[in-house]
């Protein structure tokens, strides 16, 4: 009986297509930068799970591409209707992954990438999504602060909130077994190479599925 259950789980996993990938880590660690490099170099292999947020768009961000920018009321209604896989409040704004964001990418047989905070990681662990968990970490809090300041997207208040969350994130990400890989983003090209190494098996699987 146990063997049959284990075999049927394996069969289900084999039929389910490529495993999703969770990218987490402090704000400013370089998640979006590395993600854009992955999407650029592996066109059609990866698909981004477009989250919902109540924060304001930054210059250059497009609604429906970077985020679904919504009001608190709209977001809360979606949560109440059970439309979200997970949601969290980060730096005073609501963020969440809708079930359809993930479903849309998986329907295209692409590796679905979720860029989510630590609360999101903990929530996703309670679902049956079964992703690969990767943490992107800065070399130090000082360097993180410099990168966030140089990015010029945050008010002083938002920056301080992000740095506070970053200190907690850096400590928690060291917990054994929380992440499959931790990538330190010091030199960007080196971090990118290490990220690709962590994803090599899934990239190969997705490429084979595309070629067959
Ligand atoms: P996140 O998506 O994790 O919030 P970003 O990708 O926006 O972080 O990166 C934060 C800032 O740091 C951006 O301005 C980006 O250009 C810069 N950056 C990212 N990686 C590096 C790196 N390895 N060295 C120097 N600057 C970097
Ligand atoms: P930013 O405002 O810099 O785009 O994102 C702030 C933080 O929210 C980042 O750590 C990012 O990973 C996280 N985030 C973005 N979308 C989601 C989401 O759908 N769920 C959760 N839990 N966090 C998210």
| pLDDT higher than 90, residue 209 | no
Instruction: Please indicate whether residue 51, judged by its CB atom, sits closer than 6 Å to ligand 2.
Output: yes
The mean pLDDT value for 29-55 works out to: 96
Q: Please give the positions annotated as active site.
A: 58, 151, 162
Task: Look at residue 10 in the predicted model and tell me its pLDDT.
Answer: 45
24 to 35, 38, 81, 117, 200: CA distances (angstroms):
11, 15, 26, 6, 18
The closest-lying atom of ligand 1 relative to the alpha carbon of residue 186 is 23
Q: Which two tokens stand for residue 179?
A: 């992440």
Answer yes or no: is pLDDT of 11 > 50.
no
How far, CA to CA in Å, does 37 sit from each of 116, 130, 176? 18, 24, 28
The pLDDT value recorded for residue 15 is 52
Mean predicted confidence (pLDDT) in 19-33: 98
**From 7-11, 118-122, 181-185, the region with the lowest mean pLDDT:** 7-11
Using a 6 Å cutoff on CB, does residue 119 contact ligand 2? yes
- The per-residue pLDDT for 103 is 97
Q: For residue 7, report the distance from its CA to the centre of ligand 2, in Å.
A: 36
Place of tokens 């109440």: 80
Reference 22, options 162, 135, 183; nearest CA is: 135
54 lines ligand 2 (CB under 6 A): no
Choices 3.30.470.30, 3.40.710.10, 3.30.70.1050, 3.40.50.300: CATH for 18-211: 3.40.50.300
The predicted structure's pLDDT at residue 1: 53
Per-residue confidence (pLDDT) for residue 93, from 0 to 100: 98
Q: Where are the domains of the chain?
A: 18-211
Atom 22, ligand 1: residue with shortest CA distance = 188
The average pLDDT across 29-40 equals 96
> Which residues line the pocket of ligand 1, CB cutoff 6 A?
27-33, 147, 150-151, 185, 188, 191
Ligand 2: which of 29, 34, 68, 115 to mutate, judged by most atoms within 8 Å of the beta carbon?
Answer: 115
**88 ligand 2 Cβ < 6 A:** yes
Distance 147 CA to ligand 1 centre (A): 6
20 DSSP 8-state letter:
P
Higher pLDDT, 152 or 3: 152
CA-nearest of 53, 55, 30 to 150 is 30
Question: Residue 33 — very low, low, confident or very high, per pLDDT cuts 50/70/90?
Answer: very high
């Amino acid at each position: 009986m146990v063997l049959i259950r284990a075999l049927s789980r394996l069969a289900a996993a084999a039929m389910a297509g490529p495993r999703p990938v969770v990218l987490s880590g402090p704000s400013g660690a370089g998640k979006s930068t590395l993600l854009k490099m992955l999407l650029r170099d592996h066109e059609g292999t990866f698909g981004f799970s477009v989250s919902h947020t109540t924060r304001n768009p930054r210059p250059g961000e497009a609604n429906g591409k970077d985020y679904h920018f919504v009001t608190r009321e709209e977001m809360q209604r979606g949560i109440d209707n059970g439309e979200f896989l997970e949601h969290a409040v980060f730096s005073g704004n609501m963020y969440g992954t809708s079930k359809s964001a993930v479903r849309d990418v998986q329907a295209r047989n692409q590796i679905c990438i979720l860029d989510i905070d630590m609360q999101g990681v903990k929530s996703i662990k309670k679902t049956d999504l079964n992703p690969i968990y990767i943490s992107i970490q800065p070399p130090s809090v000082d360097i993180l602060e410099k990168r966030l300041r140089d990015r010029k997207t945050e008010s002083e208040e938002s920056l301080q909130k992000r740095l506070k969350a970053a200190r907690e994130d850096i400590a928690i990400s060291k917990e054994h077994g929380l992440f499959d890989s931790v990538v330190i983003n010091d030199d960007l090209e080196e971090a990118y190479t290490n990220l690709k190494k962590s994803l090599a098996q899934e990239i190969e699987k997705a490429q084979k599925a595309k070629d067959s």
